[in-house]
Chains A and B, each alone.
Chain A
Amino acid sequence: MAEGKVSLPVVRGAGETSRTDLWWLEPLVVFVVFASFVVYATWAAFQGNHYYLDKQGQNYLSPFYSPEIIGNSPHAWIRGKPDWWPGWLVFSPALLILGGPVGFRMTCYYYRGAYYKAFWADPPNCAVGEPRGSYLGENTWPLLIQNIHRYFLYIALIFIAFLAWDAIQAFIFTNAAGNKRFGIGVGSFVLTLNVILLGGYTLGCHSLRHLVGGGCDELGKSPTQKSVYDCVSCLNEYHMVWAWCSLFWVGFSDIYVRLCSMGIWTDFHFVF
């Protein structure tokens, strides 16, 4: 049966493919999940309230607002609102720091491949036709900027230290007399799992893998460096899983603290 003349190599139109599987499902899911996160995170970052919980002695801080450099919660390094902040822009402590983790994710090798497909259809999926004929890739500006990734990694590593401190603080409760007591709440687990997932994602970064040993051809001569490289490689193997789990959980952590702070959810906890 003839189905029309074609010439090879084929230049396919947008979405044109011989694939018979649900090739559009993966980029669609990436688009929906990632876009939902961006919308929620933007909204939450501009709120500037309900980002910490201390109602019943808890010591929880939303990861979207950590570290709180300038703000009004007990976690703030400097209390108040900066004088230099433009009057037309609503102040939120999150706006001072979110550029770090956002930049880290946006330049992440895994996310780049995922959002080029899901948001830019470049390509829509493997062996599926593209909507544009021209292509620059990351070979020239503007996408040459993606090479900045390792600098966002340095920032992300610092953030992991702050989030780990927040997770420890989440196990310290303050009683009515003002004394600090060890306690365990649902929020303690939420914030601990958050730093574990973000740590797994950050420490499995491709740039980190390169910096700890990937750039060295004779790694075997340095057993310690080789062990570190192997650990990062082990995490890197599941970088996509870490990326999505940590993205989901950091969003959920903010939701948990926010809803508890608003009184919609109650944080169950035991203080010893």
Chain B
Amino acid sequence: MAETATTQMVTLRIWRGDANGGSFVDYQTPVSHGMVVLDAVHQVQATQAMDLAVRWNCKAGKCGSCSAEINGNPRLMCMTQIAHLPTDQPITIEPIQAFPSIKDLVTDVSWNYEVKKRIKPFQPREPDAADGTWRMEQADVDRVQEFRKCIECFLCQDVCHVLRDHHKHAEFIGPRFLVHVAALEMHPLDTADRLEDLKDRDGVGYCNITKCCTKVCPEHITITDNAIIPLKERVVDEYYDPLMMLWRMIFPKRQPLPMVKP
């Protein structure tokens, strides 16, 4: 039987406004099988609201630009099929809530870039071979490779209640950057020590392990179990575990090797 394209009308309830405030506006638009939310938003933008601001780029779930809250759930608009949403009621589309609004669905996420600059960069040990190369076990690289899948969509930052509800932006770097620190801190070649920063400046203790960040990650990074909890445990080793402290007194930790000169 030949497949026929069917269309139906859905209502998109889109937040319109800026930093001074705004409101939800309903738009009715036809959708067909296979359309994602971003398609429908673009359709509204093209036919009914040409001044609607929406950030997007790849439409393939890899650039992390079109983050929004769809029916209250932080999602990428380009990866959310309309067929998977209830269409008998309006589909609510809001900008992510943890960052200031610029216009409509676009938010100012520049705070994240400033946070990233503060984190100690990768500091490899001296090369293992005379030709300036290193040797690593594949298993050790595999462990941190997961963290490098991050597309910086900031959905994890958005859903984290420490940022979203408590606005601890000055004291907590959020799951995205805890993943970034984990990628560096657990790297087999890295020699920098970020534990003091993690405890005092980055606020890893603010995470209360709700795993919301893991649930919303479009790259399926196991943020809480593989990045945040291991970092918490390293902080415990260093600052809260008396047996570990005693162990370090008896067997002092090796000093990190000097940084490689560029």
Q: Which residues of A contact B (CB under 8 A)?
A: 1-12, 17-21, 109-110, 112-113, 116-117, 122-123, 126-127, 129-130, 133-135, 137-140, 143-144, 147, 150, 206-207, 209-210, 214-215, 217-221, 226, 236-237, 239
| A3 and B164 alpha carbons, distance in the complex (Å) | 22
- Whether a CB of chain A sits under 8 angstroms from the CB of B36 is no
**Of B164, B188, B206, which one neighbours A127 at CB under 8 angstroms?**
B164
Tell me, rounded to whole Å, the shortest Cβ–Cβ distance linking B222 to chain A. Answer: 8
Q: Which residues of B contact A11 (CB under 8 A)?
A: 165
The residue among A112, A123, A207 with the most chain B CB atoms within 10 A of its own CB is: A123
Residue of chain A at shortest CB distance from B18: A8
Contact A7 B159 (CB under 8 A): no
| A61 and B196 alpha carbons, distance in the complex (Å) | 47
Interface members, chain B 209-223 (any A CB < 8 Å): 209-212, 215-216
Residue of chain A at shortest CB distance from B137: A220
Chain B 230-262 against A: per-residue CB contact (8 Å), 1 yes, 0 no? 101110110011000000000000000000000
Contact A135 B89 (CB under 8 A): no
**Of B74, B207, B234, which one neighbours A138 at CB under 8 angstroms?**
B207
Q: Which residues of B contact A123 (CB under 8 A)?
A: 161, 165, 210, 212
**Of A2, A110, A215, A239, which one neighbours B23 at CB under 8 angstroms?**
A2
Contact A122 B17 (CB under 8 A): no
Contact A7 B20 (CB under 8 A): yes
Q: Which residues of B contact A9 (CB under 8 A)?
A: 97-101, 164, 167
Q: Which residues of B contact A (CB under 8 A)?
A: 13, 15, 17, 19-26, 69, 71-74, 86, 89, 92, 94-95, 97-101, 107, 136-140, 143, 159, 161-162, 164-168, 171, 185-188, 190, 203, 205-212, 215-216, 224-225, 229-230, 232-234, 236-237, 240-241
Q: Which residues of B contact A130 (CB under 8 A)?
A: 161, 165
Contact B208 A116 (CB under 8 A): yes
| A18 and B229 alpha carbons, distance in the complex (Å) | 29
Residue of chain A at shortest CB distance from B206: A137
Tell me, rounded to whole Å, the shortest Cβ–Cβ distance linking A140 to chain B. Answer: 7
The residue among B97, B209, B240 with the most chain A CB atoms within 10 A of its own CB is: B209
Contact A150 B241 (CB under 8 A): yes
Contact B137 A221 (CB under 8 A): yes
Q: Which residues of B contact A127 (CB under 8 A)?
A: 69, 72-74, 97, 159, 164, 212
Q: Which residues of A contact B215 (CB under 8 A)?
A: 126
| A8 and B23 alpha carbons, distance in the complex (Å) | 11
Contact A218 B233 (CB under 8 A): no
**Of B17, B71, B86, B224, which one neighbours A18 at CB under 8 angstroms?**
B71
Contact A215 B237 (CB under 8 A): yes
8 shortest A-B CB distances, which residue pairs?
A220-B137, A18-B72, A139-B205, A19-B72, A126-B212, A210-B233, A113-B209, A137-B206
Given contacts A9-B100, A220-B140, A236-B225, contact A210 B209 (CB under 8 A): no
Q: Which residues of B contact A117 (CB under 8 A)?
A: 210
| A105 and B234 alpha carbons, distance in the complex (Å) | 21
The residue among B95, B215, B224, B233 with the most chain A CB atoms within 10 A of its own CB is: B233
Tell me, rounded to whole Å, the shortest Cβ–Cβ distance linking A67 to chain B. Answer: 24
Residue of chain A at shortest CB distance from B71: A20
Contact B140 A109 (CB under 8 A): no
| A113 and B207 alpha carbons, distance in the complex (Å) | 9
A sample of 28 inter-chain contacts (CB < 8 A) reads: A6-B15, A6-B21, A8-B107, A9-B99, A9-B167, A18-B69, A19-B72, A19-B73, A20-B72, A109-B209, A112-B208, A113-B208, A116-B209, A135-B166, A137-B205, A139-B205, A143-B208, A144-B240, A147-B232, A147-B240, A206-B225, A206-B230, A210-B230, A210-B233, A215-B234, A219-B140, A220-B136, A220-B140
Contact B208 A217 (CB under 8 A): no
The residue among A12, A18, A21, A130 with the most chain B CB atoms within 10 A of its own CB is: A18
Residue of chain A at shortest CB distance from B215: A126
Q: Which residues of A contact B171 (CB under 8 A)?
A: 139
| A76 and B170 alpha carbons, distance in the complex (Å) | 56
Q: Which residues of B contact A10 (CB under 8 A)?
A: 97
| A5 and B216 alpha carbons, distance in the complex (Å) | 27
